[in-house]
Amino acid sequence: MSGIRLQYLAFTGPDIETAELKFNEGLNIIYGASNTGKSFALKAILFMLGVSKTLPETEEIVVYDGVWLGLTMPDASEITLYRSTRGGAFKIHEGLVSSAGPDDGKVLKAQHDSKRTDNVSHLVLEAIGLSSKKIVRDQYGTKDNLSIYLLSPYAVVSEEDIIAEKSPVYSSGVPAERVFERNLLKLLLTGIDDSAAVTVPKVAERKAAKAAKIELVEEMITQLDAELGEDAPDRKEIEEQLERLDNSSSGLLSRLQETQGQLDTLVIERRAKVDRQSELEERASELDLTLERFDKLRSVYASDLQRLQSIEEGGYVLVAMAGLDCPVCGAPPDAQQHNHAVDEIEMAHAAAAAESRKIEVEQRELLQTIASLAAEVSGLRRTLSQVRNDVESLDRDIEAARPREASVRESYETYAQKRQKITRTLELLDRRAKLAARKAEIETEKTKRDGNSLPAGPDPTTAFEFGEAVKKVLEAWHFPDADKAQFDLASNDVTIAGKRRSSNGKGVRAILHAAFKVAIIEYCIDKDLPHPGLLVLDTPLLTYREPLTSKHGDLSEDEEALKATSVAEFFYRHLASLKAHAQIIVLENSEPPSPILPLARIETFTHRDGPGRFGLLARRK
């Protein structure tokens, strides 16, 4: 088996029954009324293959929180991809499951990254043999890595694309992408990518770069013009204005510096005086405290001297009475039996006298010290008074100097502001002149085409062989004039007898677009080339619509002619015959012909209550 096969698409939610859409390996037909979820199923498949980031916001989807896509890989292994209905990363589970624990499965990123393998795009491309393929994006060899998003138009075809007038090759509809899209077709039809292509310098890029440079420079010039104003003066006038301003303000800075210097000197001198005043006050306080203590010491000395003098006088009297008759009994000295401690009294008298002399010396020294400190305090008081007078004088000088300094400073600031404005204008004029010169320099740069552009798309031989495959498919469908079908390299589209597909009605364009995509599958099968192995077609048989109920309205003349044929039956029979090589899912509004019912898995969306399936998702009550 080549390519991948879808086994089922399931939607789960916490409080709702699982909505599951199953598929067979061959032909699958989903038909029913509009607004039943057929196109939603197509978009959900794209969502689960990592092609789109979000699901359509419908009333029915809000009750579901998870989407599950069961896949059979080319090696017959089975896996299931899970993704939140809100988008984001995927989880991959082994086997076919529709529920799992929060930690089950391996995380896969939704965003394609050619340098990593942990993303859904790499998983699918690796499975179908198209990973790491490079495709030239423009005629100069710029390469892009193939992703499932870029390949998806060959696997899933929406109703809008299948009826569009644009070529099936040009799926994006963007002219700038046409080289890439032709080279993508070449890759599918040859199996050879553009890894070997050599990138050459682009004239368009050089022109774009040149235009971008000029645009940027012009934008900068415009911004400068806006800053300069509408009536911006010329440079000479501004320079003269600056010269006049400088002349009129000559010496202003020196006067400011002088007045500021004077004020600063006064402030510094005052601060020194205040510091000196604090020192003097602190010293005077210390001396006052010392004098107070010394005065107390002097009182102590006086008290001690009085005590010692009393001791000394008493001792003197006792000693003097020692050689006399006893004043009590009148006994003469030689008749007395006791000396009444004369020796101790003499010693005490001598000690008291010595201590008195010592204290007297210390008292004299204390009085000298007190006199000296008192003199120092007196001097400090006079000095402190002078310092206080100096501080007051400096305060008056500072108050007188401040207005002069403020006046000069204000004048200088006014001058500085005017000068800054003028110099700013000069700077803007200089920058504008430089930008104008740079713009002129850029405009002279050459962007000459070098003639090395690369061809795009399949070569004529491959294109012819592919055209034969398209013819074969249309002949199998019994399409009118199928033998005249070709693939036109000029328009990269199918033509019938020279008539371009885009010149037909919607229904004919749809069937021819479908033939183009089916022919890709058959061509790849015949050439043994890689292909997704999956093709989803939305409303390829639009020709068989009912004009009164269809949003596409009345049939054109060529649609009427096609509707009268049996193309629908042969269309389904041919698709069913590809069962061994590809899985095809057809979304239609009309019921398939009854002979086809045994050949396909058919799912009917009734869009009405009662028996049968209302639509893809549970109907919102």
245 within domain boundaries: no
Least confident stretch, 73-82, 177-186, 503-512, 549-558? 549-558
Asked if residue 309 has pLDDT above 90, the reply is no
Euclidean distance between CA atoms 288 and 314, whole angstroms:
40
pLDDT band, very low/low/confident/very high, at 501 (cuts 50, 70, 90): very high
Which of the listed residues 394, 418, 443 is the one where a domain comes to its end? 443
Q: Which amino acid is at 46?
A: L
**What's the mean per-residue pLDDT of the chain?**
86
Total of domains in the chain: 2
| The pLDDT of residue 99 is above 90 | no
Averaged pLDDT, 157-185: 93
470 lies in the same domain as 387: no
List 145's β-bridge partners, or say none: 134
- Same domain? 51 vs 161: yes
User: Does 79 fall in a domain?
Assistant: yes
| Same-domain status, 430 and 553 | no
C-alpha to C-alpha distance for 158 and 164, rounded to whole angstroms: 10
**Does residue 465 belong to any structural domain of this protein?**
yes
In a shared domain, residues 423 and 469 = no
Instruction: Looking at the structure, tell me whether residues 375 and 504 fall in a common domain.
Output: no
**Same-domain status, 338 and 463:** no
User: What pLDDT was estimated at residue 400?
Assistant: 85
| Among 328-337, 385-394, 566-575, the least confident range | 328-337
513 lies in the same domain as 403: no
With tokens 């993704």, the residue in question is 83
Q: Last residue of some domain: 443, 469, 501?
A: 443
Specify whether the CB–CB gap between 54 and 47 falls below 8 A. yes
Res 193 pLDDT > 70: yes
Angstrom CA distances, 29 to 37, 159, 162, 419, 536, stand at 13, 15, 17, 83, 10
Whether residue 405 sits in one domain with residue 468: no
pLDDT > 70: what percent of the chain?
A: 90
Residue 586 maps to a domain: yes
d(CA 255, CA 268): 20
Highest mean pLDDT among 131-140, 319-328, 357-366: 131-140
Query: CA torsion sign, 202 to 205 to 211 to 216?
Result: negative
pLDDT at 90: 95
Q: Note the pLDDT of residue 134.
A: 93
In three-state secondary structure terms, 168 is coil
Q: Is the pLDDT of residue 322 over 70?
A: no
What share of the chain has pLDDT > 90, as a percent?
45
How much is the average pLDDT of 220-235?
80
Tallying the residues shown for the chain, one arrives at 621
Q: Is residue 108 part of a domain?
A: yes
Q: What integer pLDDT is reported at residue 312 of this predicted model?
A: 63
The CATH number of residue 83's host domain is: 3.40.50.300
Q: Tens digit of pLDDT for each residue in 410-450?
A: 887 887 888 888 888 888 888 888 988 988 888 887 766 55
Range picked from 24-33, 97-106, 348-357 for highest mean pLDDT:
24-33
CATH number reported for the structural domain that contains residue 430 in this entry: 1.10.287
Residues contacting 196, CB < 8 A, separation 6+: none
pLDDT tens digits, 366-416: 788 888 888 888 888 888 889 889 888 888 888 888 888 888 888 878 878
Q: Does 327 score more than 80 pLDDT?
A: no
Same domain for 175 and 263? no
Q: What is the pLDDT of residue 549?
A: 60
How much is the pLDDT for 325? 64
326, 467: one domain: no
Q: Is the pLDDT assigned to residue 348 strictly greater than 80?
A: no
What's the mean pLDDT in 101-109?
84
Domain assignment present for 212: no
Contact call for residues 190 and 531 (beta carbons, < 8 A): no
Pick the most confident of 474-478, 538-542, 603-607: 474-478
Q: Which of 411, 443, 475 is the last residue of a domain?
A: 443
Confidence grade of residue 602 (pLDDT, cut at 50, 70, 90): very high
Q: Would the pLDDT of 546 be above 80?
A: no
The winner for highest mean pLDDT among 186-200, 293-307, 570-584 is: 570-584
Residue 134 is encoded by which pair of tokens? 């490079």
Sign of the dihedral through C-alpha 477, 478, 483, 488 = negative
Give dist(CA 105, CA 124) in Å, integer.
17
User: In terms of Cα–Cα distance, which of 176, 210, 120, 621 is closest to 439?
Assistant: 210
Structural domain contains residue 118: yes
Q: What residue numbers bound the domain in which 377 lies? A: 252-443
Residues 58 and 192 in one domain: yes
pLDDT single digits (tens) 26-61: 999 999 888 899 999 999 999 999 999 999 999 899
462 and 571: one domain?
Answer: yes
Does any domain span residue 511? yes
- Whether the pLDDT of residue 317 is over 60: the answer is no
pTM strictly above 0.85: no
